[in-house]
Amino acid sequence: MANFDIGLSGLNAAQRSLDIIGNNIANAATEGYHRQRVQLSPAYLSQQGFTLVGGGVDVIGVKRSIDTLLEQEIYRQQSTLGQIAQEFDTLRTIENAFGDFSSENGGLNAAIDQFFRSLQELSTNPTDNTRLNQAVSSAISMANQFKTLGEYLTSVETQIRLDIENTINTINGLASQIAEFNNKIESIELAGGNSNTMSDQRDKCISDLSQLIGIQTLNRENGVVDVTVGGIPLVIGPSFSNLEVGVDTNNNIGIAIAGAANYTTNIHGGKIGGLMSLKNDIISDIHEDLDSLAVAIIKQINQYHVQGIGVAGSFTELKGWANTSGDLADLADITAGYTYIRVTNTGDGSVVRTAIPVIQDESSDTLAEIADYITNNVANVTASVNSSNQLTILTAPGYTFDFLPAALSEPKTEDIDFNGTADPAISISGIYTGTLNDTLIFTVSGTGEVGNNDSLKLIVKDSNLNTIATVNIGTGYAVGDEIEIGNTGIKIALGMGDLTDEDSFSIDVFQNTDTAGLLSAIGINTFFTGTDAVSMAVCSDIENDPRRLAASLSADMTDNTNVIRLEQTKNAAVSSLGNLTSGEFYRQLVTDIGQQLSLKQMRQENVEVLLLNLQNQQSEISGVDINEEAAQLLVYQQMFQAIAKYMTTINAMLKNVMEIL
């Protein structure tokens, strides 16, 4: 009966093979399906005398056509492509939001240019209401552009956080399915069954997972596959861990096993890798650069604006903005120095300038102490600090105050050392053009009447006793005429009187009346408010009354000195911007976004080509070729027919033998 066993084994092998071929053809278009082949082996051999007789054919199993190393490389490249694609798509939307940085096409760059252009136009006529309104309107437009971009980046970051959370939920679902498949596959394999179809389903889940996050896989016995992500064991055999999203101590977003709170931010690959890279690095850097640009413009403009006044004149009351602390050490950009306040008697025009110490000793370290000093040492002025740490300065009726650097109209009495009996009156005007605050010392050379002595001169020195100028006040000088003191921007005029050799007087000259940075830090007479792009705005006082725009540095409010200083900040290199101007920094910001896009697009195209090649190799190894299956079908069909003919022949032979017997 061995002959029948051989035939039956052949029929069984042919039938199993035909079944597998049919299954291959049916799944030719099924994603993730790996071609299967029946593994055949010669059956047990028996020996009859000196002859070895075969026992037919055994079906020892059904094997998937798969290259494990190739599959793992496909997972890796899918993860890489998933990350790059996510970064590229998001960066492209950001680039569109920033727009072309050329002035002609609008956007933030155009708004910045228009703001500085309006300041330049204002400098031609600083008292013109139309130009004042245009300058303030341009500033508002620029601040709104900053706010719009800042809010957009914030919304993108918020959306990214939501996308990460949703994607993590999908990852947790896939991890659960992989673990469940592992459990079933292991059970089937241990029972000697065929788990190929289930392995394909499990591997499809792993492939989907690799597109969401970078993974590492480890194949174990009985068909089990372990999966780790970023060093976190996600699936171990039939067990899996749920992931959660959170932030680390640096406020970077990360993932961890649910409940562990030890968030890992170093996640690469897949959609999650792209989203986390965008949130923690790429968009964070863009947002930080945008904020840095906004803050730089705010500080540049405010540091000069606080010292000037507009056509609306000096102030009777000013109130700063709210601060998080009243301790000056806690407020940004305040250093040890002085703030100089000028108080004018509106009745007789007399002016007194007082230096307010800032962080000079223990009694000048807080806003409350600054307020007390002003109240106790500046005549006709009081100051107070409320619960929101806002400093308010208020004058008595009949007085105004400002922080103009313009020289006082005459030397202080204590700074005059004349020894004659008919001292000439001295008047001072002009705006100091030096780079540092200084004291100019005037010493008389010669003795005689002003305007009538050939040898009568004034020798002018700075506080380091360097001679700045020597001017004639003797013969040829018309009493009362203004004399320019070198290139200082200061002018003096002497009235009738007598002077004696070595007579002297001195005047304080100011380039900066807020050397401590107090006013701009706490919002006194500033142009802009805000600490980042989103909060940037024009001060409400100026928005409501453009005549408060501080274009002048002189008390008569007709000069354009301050608005020129404001406009020139456009071309000033800023240390916080890498020693670039605001325009250069913005152009670099937008250019960097474009360069990142270009590099990512190039890399995306390269990875797509590489992945396509890998998938083609996979298709050659694991894919179903209909022509090849048809050829195999023909082979096993013929095998089946031949075995059937063989059994018919054997049956006929046995029948003939039985008839003979």
3-state DSSP of 483-546 = EECCCCCEEEEECCCEECCCCEEEEEECCCCECCCHHHHHCCCCCEECCCCCCCEECHHHHHCH
Closest CA to 547 of 114, 136, 112, 121: 136
Domain count across the chain = 3
In a domain, 96, yes or no: yes
Cα distance between residue 610 and residue 616, in whole Å: 10
The pLDDT, as a whole number, for residue 47 is 65
Residue 477, number of CB atoms within 10 A of its CB: 20
Question: Is the same domain home to 586 and 549?
Answer: yes
Rounded to two decimals, the pTM is 0.86
Cα distance between residue 246 and residue 256, in whole Å: 8
The pLDDT, as a whole number, for residue 41 is 85
Question: Is the same domain home to 107 and 154?
Answer: yes
Interhelix angle 68-98/196-212, nearest 10 degrees: 30
Select from 509, 544, 568 the last residue of a domain.
Answer: 509
Question: Is the same domain home to 537 and 606?
Answer: yes
- Give, in order, the Cα–Cα distances in Å from 524 to each of 78, 322, 390, 400, 625: 57, 11, 9, 15, 79
Interhelix angle 196-212/129-190, nearest 10 degrees: 160
Question: Is the same domain home to 77 and 158?
Answer: yes
Question: Is the same domain home to 143 and 273?
Answer: yes
Tens of pLDDT, residues 579-604? 999 989 999 999 999 999 999 999 99
In a domain, 72, yes or no: yes
Q: Which residues, in sequence order, are bridge partners of residue 58?
A: 41
> Would you say 598 and 591 are in contact if contact means Cβ atoms under 8 Å apart?
no
In a domain, 383, yes or no: no
Secondary structure of 240-267 in HEC code, one letter for each residue: ECCEEEEECCCCCEEEEECCCCCCECCC
Burial label for 520, CB within 10 Å (0-12, 13-18, 19+), is buried
In a domain, 345, yes or no: no
Question: Is the same domain home to 450 and 495?
Answer: yes
Question: Is the same domain home to 163 and 279?
Answer: yes
Cα distance between residue 134 and residue 150, in whole Å: 24
Q: Please list the ranges in the chain whose pLDDT falls under 70.
A: 1-2, 45-53, 100-106, 661
Torsion sign, CA atoms 250, 251, 256, 259: positive
Question: Is the same domain home to 170 and 274?
Answer: yes
The pLDDT, as a whole number, for residue 436 is 92
Question: Is the same domain home to 74 and 172?
Answer: yes
**Which string of DSSP letters, residue by residue, matches 461-484?**
E-TT--EEEEEE-STTPPTT--EE
Question: Is the same domain home to 40 and 152?
Answer: no
Cα distance between residue 291 and residue 302, in whole Å: 16
- Burial pattern 257-269, b for ≥16 Cβ within 10 A else e, equals eeeeeebbbebbb
Degrees (nearest 5) of the Cα angle 547, 552, 557?
A: 70
In a domain, 361, yes or no: no
Question: Is the same domain home to 496 and 431?
Answer: yes
Tens of pLDDT, residues 428-461? 998 999 889 999 999 999 999 999 888 899 999 9
Domain hosting residue 49, numbered range: 2-65+623-660
Question: Is the same domain home to 171 and 281?
Answer: yes
